[in-house]
Structure 1
């Protein structure tokens, strides 16, 4: 025997199914709107910071491509609600700036990371107030061809060996050409200046006497130079310099930095 339905059972079941479908659609719409709002807010904050960093670069008479800003962490609106942000990445491609004596130092990329970032909700909404990073670090590379140009001595070759900067150059001593090699000490001074001084110099095939040593030392002194790193945005100051296979890795840092300020 087949099942027996009362007259109103099937319509009520259909009506309940429609309510469920409507509810699911509304939830999906709300989720879609929330995601859209999240993306819009994130894009606005990234544009604001990018514009301010670009102003800083210009104020320091430096140049770069438009700063590429990425606010890390999802969802963005949750971070806005608590006023804290996981990390903000700022990439300045083809950064270059004055380095004194009519020279320009270039970095293919200045990679900046801001952490422990705080900002009130009103700052994100209105643009008024500061987005402050507790710590900011920046890393860039200065390639060896630039350094060789700064040294200004013909035939110089630079490379990294065991984490240290090494130099080699042909030198005329006592009527013969010899290859002189040495290791450079890199010392960070105030004003974003890096002193490069060569020592532990050796030259194969030469007699070990004061005259030869004096000639070699005289040449080595000419290889010494000061590398002035251009003024960096976000109050970044050079903290460390390391020799890498393709050039010098420059690491800079700063604390309590307003990311959306156009001031230096």
Structure 2
């Protein structure tokens, strides 16, 4: 029996297998491009998102009509005028046909101290500087000609980012918010950092102080992701 037959058969299998892998990767790359467009259309981003669709082979996920996990990163985004950095997007159980939906999704981003400082200054009409010291968010500035410092503790309540003011020191003396004049006390009560511009269905769920600001996370389930189409039927980015 000639050995040529099995060898030729093996070569054919290898070639066909390589072709399937190439087709799989081409399809996955196209889907990743569409995911990039979806991020650009639904978030006010800075820079080009870097997207990865996990799982191999991709074509079996496509035939199933659902992608197991899609992750993406982008340098920055703007949330209703507030700059955020180090943006991470995660989506699970993503449908591959319209309307595009995400079973569970999240967006995490960092609000730098400069962004927090601007919001605090705008809300309080006080000239303050915000920094992270010893793992805590600290604000300092001048009030009535005296140096005021305070600890800012971010928290999320009912989808809103609130900041509790505590650890107050005025001219080196420890005080409470109630010790301040009413005109200043009201500015430091119920302080809210507005976070809007997130895709519909995602709600702010967590806020943690990190080395360069506040790391916020928004989560949601069964989120619909609009994706505009050009007249030819292909997706378009902003």
Is 1:74–2:56 an aligned residue pair?
Answer: yes
- Give the structure-2-normalised TM-score: 0.77
Identify, as 1 or 2, the structure richer in helix. Answer: 1
Return 5+ residue gaps in structure 1 as ranges.
1-11, 99-103, 124-128
* Shift in CA distance, 22/106, structure 1 to aligned 2, threshold 3 Å: same
1:117-136 alpha-carbon deviations (Å, 9 max, x no partner): 344xxx3xxxxx33432110
Q: Do the aligned partners of 2:49 and 2:74 also contact (CA within 8 Å) in 1? A: yes
1:90-129 correspondence to structure 2 within 5 Å: 90-98=72-80, 104-119=81-96, 123=97, 129=98
Deviation at 1:71, TM superposition (A): 0.8
Identify, as 1 or 2, the structure richer in strand. Answer: 2
- Give the structure-1-normalised TM-score: 0.71
Distance 2:64 2:18 in 1: 22
SS at match of 2:180: helix
Deviation at 1:218, TM superposition (A): 5.5
Structure 2 equivalent of residue 52 of structure 1: 38
Give the length in aligned residue pairs.
223
* Shift in CA distance, 240/228, structure 1 to aligned 2, threshold 3 Å: same
Is 1:247–2:213 an aligned residue pair?
Answer: yes
1:186-225 correspondence to structure 2 within 5 Å: 186-189=154-157, 193-203=160-170, 205-206=172-173, 213-215=179-181, 219=184, 221-223=186-188, 225=191
Q: Do the aligned partners of 2:116 and 2:130 also contact (CA within 8 Å) in 1? A: no
Q: Do the aligned partners of 1:65 and 1:92 also contact (CA within 8 Å) in 2? A: yes
SS at match of 1:156: strand
Select the residue among 14, 26, 30 that pairs with 2:12.
26
Structure 2 equivalent of residue 158 of structure 1: 131
Deviation at 1:257, TM superposition (A): 1.8
1:132-179 alpha-carbon deviations (Å, 9 max, x no partner): 3211011000100121122223353332545x4333335456xxx44x
